[in-house]
Amino acid sequence: MRVPEGAVVQINLINGDGAVHDIAVPEFEATSSEISGKGAATSIVFRATRNGTFEYYCTLPGHKAAGMVGKLVVGDGPEAVVEQGKDLSKDPTQVGEPVGSREPKSITLDLRTTEEEGRLSDGSTYKFWTFDGTVPGPMVRIREGDTVTLNLSNEPDSAHIHSIDLHAVTGPGGGAAVTQVAPGQTRSFTFKALQPGLYVYHCATPMVAQHISNGMYGLILVEPEGGLPKVDHEFYVMQGELYTANPRGARGLHEFSLDMLLRETPQHLMFNGSKDALTSIHKMEVNTGDSVRIFFGVGGPNLISSFHVIGEIFDKVFDQGSLTSPPLTDVQTTLVPAGGATMVEFVADYPGKYILVDHALSRAEKGLMGVLTVKGDADASIFSSPEPIDPHSGH
């Protein structure tokens, strides 16, 4: 819809299905009453005081995500919202090189810390703090017995000291005690990877929770002797929280809120650094019959995740990232603590779109959703229906 700047606008909503609906344009503080009967109608009236492109949508939980959203162009506003900020979201296919059957060796790992404004969603940004310019940082992949020299450099234009604590490290602060690095400087240390597993790393400079929330977390995989068994596809997914003074959905630069952080009430939850990182920016695609492995971690800093893939059952769950314990089998949903990780494996048996969620499902409304697309032929012995399948449906 397009209207002139300054015009008084009335939008009429007619209920076509009998479910409960409403309509809102939050930027103009316009929200209708709810309507429920088929053929019932309501409206909103407001003055379009600002040039630009804005969203109108149904505010009922899940309705916007299901497609009840549109664009209102005021004046000379662009047809679509211009993305602001650099895309810092992490491609889930960037999982590093498997170690295979190689012997332990000495490795040098260079990481840099940055502070840069990045895209949060269409029309909104946040000043993220990162490892190597992405949220989460790179997935580090080494072998049990490797000796690793880690060089951590803080970009000269940073305004804060940063550091790194790797949960795979045995030593003071997991490395944080010797890597409190000022802008423009580099700090180093060497460690030996004593135990295999999937571990979180994060910044550990006070206040630690702020550094983590701002994007400074990642996974380090210490593969056992002989490496992990080969699978067809591996993906790297991390859950994070953002605490902002700006309401969710507001345009422009969102500011950090210490009060929200201390109250543990994030305005935004996301996989891989933005609300649509795993729904539209990056693709997770496999074919029927493919074996899939997901390295999943929770940067936090506060919330526990109930990781679930809607429409799939995990054949194996390596609980809490342990690679030496027998895996759990045939698991629906697995708990992952803040600062923890898990590795899940399954075979993609049937084509469709499979939704990654935290099964504390109200969090999907705050942006916590991903999509795994399975392509190929359908096997009616696994699933069949006389009704057409909605490719966007979840449960």
The model scores a pTM over 0.95: no
pLDDT of residue 76: 81
Asked if residue 91 lies in contact with residue 101, where contact means CB atoms within 8 angstroms, the answer is: no
- Which parts of the chain sit beneath pLDDT 50? 79-81, 394-395
Q: Report how far residue 260's alpha carbon sits from residue 369's, in angstroms, rounded to the nearest whole number.
A: 22
What confidence tens digit (pLDDT) does each residue in 300-343 have?
A: 999 999 999 999 999 999 999 999 999 999 999 999 999 999 99
Q: Report how far residue 278's alpha carbon sits from residue 143's, in angstroms, rounded to the nearest whole number.
A: 28
pLDDT of residue 81: 47
Q: Which residue type does 313 have?
A: I
Domains plus CATH for the chain?
2-74 (2.60.40.420), 106-223 (2.60.40.420), 233-375 (2.60.40.420)
pLDDT of residue 80: 45
pLDDT of residue 84: 66
Q: Smallest Cα–Cα separation from 243: which of 303, 294, 292, 187? A: 303
Helix (H, G, I), strand (E, B), or coil: what is residue 290? coil
pLDDT of residue 389: 65
Rounding to the nearest 10 degrees, give the CA dihedral for residues 300, 306, 307, 311. -150
Asked if residue 77 lies in contact with residue 51, where contact means CB atoms within 8 angstroms, the answer is: yes
pLDDT of residue 390: 59
pLDDT of residue 176: 98
Q: Report how far residue 163's alpha carbon sits from residue 144's, in angstroms, rounded to the nearest whole number.
A: 23
Q: Report how far residue 206's alpha carbon sits from residue 212's, in angstroms, rounded to the nearest whole number.
A: 10
Q: Report how far residue 82's alpha carbon sits from residue 91's, in angstroms, rounded to the nearest whole number.
A: 21
